């Protein structure tokens, strides 16, 4: 009767080495950089927002500067 042999784990040695490297070099979530507030007061921030087509058309009717008009209306609505 043959003696039992130990089986090698599934996967290649390269896969094991890549997994070990990834684990050793990956930053834990706690160490990832946190987004900071803009350094300048009253700085604008680029965002994406979904608006009703009618709302967008209303602000674009007067031509250029429609984004600033939306910003002004939002500030007024927020009481700022």
Region of residue 48 (left: phi > 0; alpha: psi -120 to 50; beta: else) = beta
d(CA 4, CA 9): 16
pLDDT of 19 > 90? The answer is no
Report the Cα 3 to chain-centroid distance in Å.
55
pTM, two decimals, is: 0.48
Compute the half-sphere exposure of residue 53: CA atoms within 13 Å on the CB side of its CA: 0
Residues 6 or more apart from 71 whose CB is under 8 A from it?
Answer: 44
Residue 64 banded pLDDT, cuts 50, 70, 90: very high
Q: What is the mean pLDDT of the chain?
A: 81
């Amino acid at each position: 009767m043959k003696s039992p042999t130990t089986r090698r784990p599934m996967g290649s040695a390269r896969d094991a080495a890549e997994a070990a490297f990834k684990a050793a070099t990956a930053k834990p979530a706690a160490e990832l950089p946190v987004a900071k507030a803009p350094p300048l007061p009253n700085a604008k921030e680029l965002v994406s927002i979904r608006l009703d087509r009618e709302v967008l058309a209303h602000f674009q009717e007067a031509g250029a500067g429609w984004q600033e008009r939306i910003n002004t209306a939002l500030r007024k609505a927020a009481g700022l």
